[in-house]
Structure 1
């Protein structure tokens, strides 16, 4: 079962080298149990890889458990649930649930692994209406460091720790998740040319607009300086695109977005009623493997003038000198509801995410000063959006959550098989 071929360690994130001593290409829960026991006996730290979209950094040595072959999805339409194995991608769940008029709480990219996404919280397309994906987990099957398979429900403290804590407490082999009765939504993107319309003006208008919308409308602001390369569509090539993305299940979406259309000449408008199966087109995330580095900041509030300075520093021309993608998600709504999971900072009102290419050192020199602009209202960071920054544990959890996770790690993984990444 052990191999170290290039195919086994290939990842969507190509910027971080994966060079484990052993690779376990598992096909079943029994295979995972065997892999964990072998790694524990050999005292090899364990890394789990499904699609590799959210790698926290490079992997040198140890054992890598590749779950991509565990790709079974089972829908129970009467219970409105799905059982998904560790290697399942969101596109598979969307496709399987669609015939029943149901939808999972997936994110913007259909190729992302459903399990790892959910263990990190899962900020989805309809997040303000339904909350985090982790809020809707019914049960988990997990292999802990002692090589034991455990079925975990809300009554267990492991449930709390896994949903927000990720793979640091074991290898989750299967989730049972709740589905929502959504067939269609109103969604898409309204894009402007950032050289014709001031991005800061769009951001100011966007923040004011978020004050007026229902708590069930989910949206984000994005600013992307596209390179002038032939691989891009002509209407994007070399442009600085500023956009607002919307997802809403109500009947008055067209009326709600009307004020945004008054902000200036529209470069592209994809807002429409759509089947949920087309919801990935709202963000149109890249679907090809590439290198990227990023981090995030959950904000108690958005200081627009500080954020406008961030846009000036990361935009094209006299800005950062490198391509930086800025995304600002409107939080609140169902995301603010208490839940028995370890996803922190539910009181946050906005999430700022910055993404860039290049090497790690170059990226940090670029991103760290940008995030410092927002420090006055920053509550912390998010696990799911620490691309290459996962070794920096500060800010990932509030003090009480960090203490409780550290206690669970000491109890369930005393030898740090899965890499203890928080401290009390």
Structure 2
């Protein structure tokens, strides 16, 4: 391609031509390239929720808006009006569908639309199957673990309420909670509770209430409805937002048989909005009655305790040891006197016996002693030694003539001197 061709006012720029401020691409070239790139995508299947249907009589094109059920994103759709009118399942705003078509970029307006040739409504069975798959996924990740459930405060300062505007669920929660505890305060956030915008609005309100330090518990309430109506409360985005909340969340969606996934993720599942109001605030009348009952039971328990202790004291006082405390002493005194008398008798008897023994021993001692011998005519001869005690004279040789002697007899002693010695003794 020549330089003249690349710079021709009506022709597209060459791929080799550098794009710069001096060599800008015209809008038509950019639009053409975008259209070419989008055209390469080919035909695709797209799932979403119909939020707008515009089929004008006499026109050859029907215009629809397909919205993502979990995000605030939408896509323009065009198709034949016959495709909408002849659908096996009537298509209405809010219907979940799967469409087959090809994206087109309109260079004149710079817009993208999906030109579809087939529309399939997502049936209840398919929706329930998807919910079950999501249920299994969240359960495997531990979002349903009972150990993660947080207890509700006994008396919350402020209750956050997310529900539809002027709905029966809102009236039930506010009226029942106000009747049970008149001083209760609410932070109400009205959002869509069904349809394509419900999930995004509920998640936003949930985050706002969770960040409010005055809110101690959040109630997510909605009345009953069909499976399609309750689909936003089984949305993965909402379930994960509930799991991330630091404030306890109560799920009160539908009636008792309804069981959206948010019931499993929430800290407490309430069967109905009325049940949720009963769970988040106590009943003032019931609490007052309970306090009165506790006071009555406490007073009765105290009276019973006092009566029981009084009976115990009376039993103790009626015992002989306390009724007549000196009786035991008197009985013991008699025992002491008796034991003392017995002790005296035993001691006297022992002394008398020992006195008799002493007398016998004394008599024997008297009989065997030297005094009795001397009384019978014997004498004890002692040699007098100057400067020492007298010594008993046992041998004749120990008393030479002139030795001074002391002769002890029965009634005294005489002093004598040895005149001589005679060893014959009694042999003569």
Aligning the two structures, in what range does the TM-score lie when normalised by the shorter sequence?
under 0.3
Which structure is higher in helix share? 2
Give the structure-1-normalised TM-score.
0.21
User: Which is higher, the Rg of structure 1 or of structure 2?
Assistant: 2
Give the structure-2-normalised TM-score.
0.21
| Structure showing greater relative contact order (alpha-carbon pairs closer than 8 Å, 6 or more residues apart) | 1
